[in-house]
Structure 1
């Protein structure tokens, strides 16, 4: 029997229940929201079709000050309450920055540099206790309300962080992020804000800014992303810019470009800059005055020439002595190219040398969805027993890709990769595993490469367990022997990675790499994450181990001073190809190729006058090669 709709309706009326209109209301609201979204997208797309005719010539103009000091710290103290007690991070720091002046704050990790700068921005953790006073153009900022602090950030004081990819929102286009910075501080709105954002990108040297402003951060290179962060920092013409290690994550050539940009903007904007860094070459290149911090205190301060050339405090002297120095190079603008028939990209092999690692016409590619993209082409090199080959070049040049291929983490698409005379890619899987016992590896970040759940002893002996070498007692003895070799006490064998410092963790990584007494060691940027003094100790230890164990080493880095200290040979790579290689003395003192010259000219040295001369020479070199410079 079919139900009668009328009976159902009458029954509903009798019980006081009827058909609800609520779903129709909800549907109407949803349609209104969709229509509003469509209209907004329409007007945004219309705005993108052409920039408005607005005056954007004054997007960047000099900051105006009411006092003669941009930023001043007076007896600033910061302590943190932890479960283990109170930690005094900053202990009465006082210094100031004038308009248009660059003051560099230097010191090792834990010295209090970044914590001190954070007090000016009000970016302190909940467990922090701050005393003392901080003045921004005469206005105290330590005790103002959170709302007023938010209005100051980005408007009167801005920050450039070390890693641009974490400072930019990866899911928002660059246009959205720049426009937001302008709109939040009531500088510009709508199409005018978009036009000013384009002008800002042009100001910091982003090519084709009208089109690229609608791209996402991941579509830009590392140096371009840092330029975008700087564009956001100067968007509101701030009185102060705090630059916290702004070039540490960048290649030497990109670093030089960013420093040139910051120097020009500083002059144009008359902005005070607080530069936090541990690179004394960057200090020599940028700073007017230097403040040296150690364990939360200022131990020395003064003009850059005085601090770098005539330091008085023992800690400052140690920092400068620990800096690896790049020897003087003869970089001639019009130096002739190699003689006819001489290929500077090919290795010079001693026929009597015992080669442990060799590449012949090596080609490497990344595969994705069945498609192969060549990233390394025609690479040839040879590393003999007891030698270190320094592999240098910018990011994306193929350095780490070559290292991955040697480790067996990337298939060889073409050519030969010989390990102790055997072509590794062509061997059966079992023989490949046996041959990989000959290869040790040290990665860039020890915190990421050490398993936090394992004690140090198990971390060091893990390669022995994987390759079934030795008894448990023999493995423990080997771990203790290696701890002695890397100059760590045997008592750390039962401790965990988080209980050690960064330099100690990297020593553990090196000890693990040496567990099977490899004949080949791959070191991928092993010191770039370390403080300068810790780096010096690790490099000294590395050289001692290499002399003791006589292994062949492929040392990947972008720091030419480190290569100058360690390497026997150098191979320079650009865009997946070898540009030049040879003995260290020839590559670093008398380079032949334009790209090598640019790398050397961009490397800063910790001597203000020498760095000024190098900067001018670099400008001449770039001009002679027809390259744009900011």
Structure 2
């Protein structure tokens, strides 16, 4: 093995706060070699992002660092601000989780990429522009000569992440720190970004520190794994050792919490009611066409969608970003007009009802959004947040509402003592439980869940999904569950509807869609979902590339 390109030696990081000192990292040590991927895994608050930030000198002013970080033999912790500026981009660069926070929305991509090269003295003017176009081509942006002059919002999420990666490799760094680089991406786009990072690592012999909580991504990318818990390294070894023979109880818990695609086989039950009898649907869409209005023009984004959800049933709505799945959910919530077709809530066509009846019928629909921090009002205590729907619909007295809030807190497994606390005082998983409690406050017959666990750590996600299944059994609501995580759908859903470009590609029972897909698009979605086993994942990656080749979809 070559000399390490990056070495953490007994790193400790403390933050001085008004409540005293907080030990965020407690003596972390590990090495990274050229052309190697080391995955640093753990949940929120484990110290993995703080550890990685020490290598770039990006910690806040109230941080005190002990120990040594050696980058190509140079001690980063002893460098001045000007030395660190020269280091960043040249020797070490970073790929952030959300590309839109890393790109300036008011500057063209050409301006931002040329700036990187000029600041570091790599190229200037037309030479810098030419080099930027080459970089975009290298990371797989189509028609780079034209597209480089566009703004970030004109690219898809996956393309934006490719641009961030192009900027990260512009100066030929020895180390790339990838901080959750695929968390915000669809499963197929995630697979493409991981393929790209793997190829660039081999071509440039760059070392990659991969920060993630997704064990499937670890299995797909990592050579070695560092597991962190409460600021300490609790386990360290090869990807195969950690993922197939974990020794520490925390690592075992992380792996047990991962939903595994294909584990939840369903018994196919015989239909008890005669086929001639029309099933009773809580929610039904018939030839739905949905459109956004912009400057007087109608832009149709969903066409010819048919579905039905019976009481006590979960319909998983899956597809990539832009497929129309969240648009369908918005229409059910009344946030988008139905241009054609019928949207039936308990047999009544919601868009055609008079306003008063429509408002009354909306009491039947609860909603859980993706990001609990954004969907809970930070000014309200938890009790007011849960009872607000009851206040709006004039349900019960003040005392009855508080009693109902306490019942719901118990149902979502939170102590009733949180009723007077505020959202910022709770963890992400607890906030999402509050969102679910609020959604159930009016005892809805229908629940819309739009990516309700994608912002959560894997173990928190597991607890929320388990609780969600229990609540669904208890309250027997019909549920429209929007997600791009096929393993989550496998765990929860009864029926699945696959969408692409605003149309239904395939629909059927969970077993039909996940075990015997008929359509090429569904097969690509399933092939792109990583599993937390390096050997199995290597086989799945090879099978995915064969599938793409057979379908003529391999990148040029």
TM-score exceeds 0.5? yes
Structure 1 range deviating more: 181-190 or 478-487: 181-190
Q: Which region of structure 1 is more displaced relative to structure 2, 187-196 or 350-359?
A: 350-359
| 1:256 aligned to which of 157, 171, 191 | 191
Farther-moved stretch of structure 1 (299-308 vs 181-190)? 181-190
In the alignment, is residue 614 of structure 1 matched against residue 544 of structure 2? no
- Once the two structures are superposed, residues 142-180 of structure 1 have per-residue CA deviations (whole angstroms, 9 ceiling, x without a partner) of 111110100010000000000001101111111111111
* 1:69 aligned residue: 4
Q: Trace 1:133-148 onto structure 2 (pairs within 5 A).
A: 133-148=68-83
Q: CA deviation at 1:354?
A: 2.4
Aligned counterpart for 2:359 among listed residues 425, 433, 437: 433
SS in 2 for 1:363: strand
- Unmatched runs of 5 consecutive residues or more in structure 2: 266-273
Residues 1:379 and 2:305 are matched in the alignment: yes
Contact 1:79/1:88 (CA < 8 Å) preserved in 2?
yes
SS in 2 for 1:374: strand
Between the aligned partners of 2:394 and 2:128, the Cα distance in structure 1 is 64
1:491 pairs with 2:396:
no
Deviation per CA, 1:503-539, whole angstroms, max 9, x where unpaired? 0000000000000110000000000000000000000
- Map of 2:47 onto structure 1: 112
Partner of 1:210: 145
Q: Look up the SS of the partner of 2:84 in the other structure.
A: helix
Contact 2:319-2:484 within 8 A present in 1 as well: yes
Q: Distance in 2 between matches of 1:593 and 1:85?
A: 58
Match of 1:506 in 2: 432
Q: SS of the residue aligned with 2:55?
A: helix
Aligned pair partner of 2:402 in 476, 490, 502: 476
Deviation at 1:349, TM superposition (A): 8.7
Give deviations 1:443-469, integer Å, cap 9, x for gaps: 000011001111101100111000000
- Partner residue of 2:89? 154
Q: Between Structure 1 and Structure 2, how many residues are aligned?
A: 548
Deviation readout 1:21-64 (Å, 9 max, x if unpaired): xxxxxxxxxxxxxxxxxxxxxxxxxxxxxxxxxxxxxxxxxxxx
Is the contact made by 1:257 and 1:629 (CA closer than 8 Å) also made in structure 2? Answer: no
Is there any run of 5+ residues in structure 1 with no aligned partner, and where?
1-64, 331-347
Partners of 1:83 and 1:439 in 2: CA distance = 44
Match of 1:271 among 183, 187, 206: 206
CA drift of 1:629 comes to: 2.7
What secondary structure does 2:385 align onto? helix
Aligned pairs for 1:33-52 within 5 A: none
User: Which of the numbers 433, 451, 473 marks the counterpart of 1:547?
Assistant: 473
Deviation string, structure 1 residues 539-581 (Cα, Å, up to 9, x no partner): 0000000000000000000000000000000000000000000
Instruction: Give deviations 1:306-332, integer Å, cap 9, x for gaps.
Output: 0000000000000000000001799xx
| Contact 2:545 2:554 survives alignment (8 Å) | no
Contact 1:328 1:589 in 2 (8 A): no
Tell which structure's C-alpha radius of gyration is larger.
Answer: 1
Q: Is the 8 A contact 2:264 2:491 kept in 1?
A: no
SS in 1 for 2:517: coil
Q: Is the 8 A contact 2:56 2:88 kept in 1?
A: yes
1:533 maps onto 2:459 in alignment: yes
SS state at 1:395 partner: coil
**What RMSD, in angstroms, separates the aligned Cα atoms of the two structures?**
1.4
SS in 1 for 2:78: coil
8 Å Cα contact 2:284-2:344 kept in structure 1:
yes
CA gap of 1:444–1:350, structure 2 versus 1, over 3 A, is: farther
* Aligned residue in 2 for 1:226: 161
| Offset, 1:366 | 0.2
Report the Cα distance in structure 1 between the residues aligned to 2:258 and 2:275, rounded to whole angstroms.
Answer: 32
TM superposition shift of 1:414 = 0.4
